[in-house]
Amino acid sequence: MNATDTFDMQLDAQAPDIGELVNRLQVCFDARGLPSKLFQSFAMAFDEVISNIAAYGSAHDPIRIRVTFGADDVRAEVIDDGVAFDPLQLPDPDVTSSVDERAIGGLGVYLVRKMMDEVAYERRERFNCLMFRKRIVAAPDLPRT
């Protein structure tokens, strides 16, 4: 693996094929020998973020995805031309009440924030840019017998 390399993809903003994205990411993670738990974190994060853009973002241009594989972390960026919206400004949802008593919404963003080591948002010109990063934690060596 290079010290840094990238994966780029675009998805239709109105009907994104998240399954195709996840399948292609799986190939990238596997080719680099990355832990399946790391892949699962990114797959879930992309599912949440892209589903929200498609449902609420009013994006017209394709959603752009860029994943950068570093020596000790994986960074992702999701860019869309929807209405300006910083999901990190949402308050944490009430996770202590029963499901029937909770307000709808906000749980996906909350989970992304909890799963990733870093999550950041910025508005660049007419684009929402959500970045998230997770360190690569090597699996412990198994004792030799």
The answer to whether residue 69 sits within a structural domain is: yes
The answer to whether residue 67 sits within a structural domain is: yes
Residue 116 CA to residue 141 CA, distance in Å, equals 24
The answer to whether residue 145 sits within a structural domain is: no
- Average pLDDT (71-79) is 96
The answer to whether residue 117 sits within a structural domain is: yes
The answer to whether residue 143 sits within a structural domain is: no
The answer to whether residue 142 sits within a structural domain is: no
The answer to whether residue 57 sits within a structural domain is: yes
Torsion of CA 7, 30, 39, 45, to 10 degrees: 30
Contact partners, residue 71, CB within 8 Å, separation at least 6? 1, 3, 4
Residue 101 DSSP symbol: G
Question: By the 8 A CB rule, do 125 and 33 touch?
Answer: no
Number of domains the chain is built from: 1
List the domain range (segments joined by +) for residue 114: 5-135
The reported pLDDT for the residue numbered 109 is 84
Q: Give 104-131 pLDDT, tens digit per residue.
A: 556 678 889 999 999 999 999 999 999 9
Please compute, for residue 128, the number of CA atoms within 13 A of its CA located in the half-sphere on the CB side.
Answer: 24
CATH number where 79 lies: 3.30.565.10
The answer to whether residue 48 sits within a structural domain is: yes
The reported pLDDT for the residue numbered 95 is 61
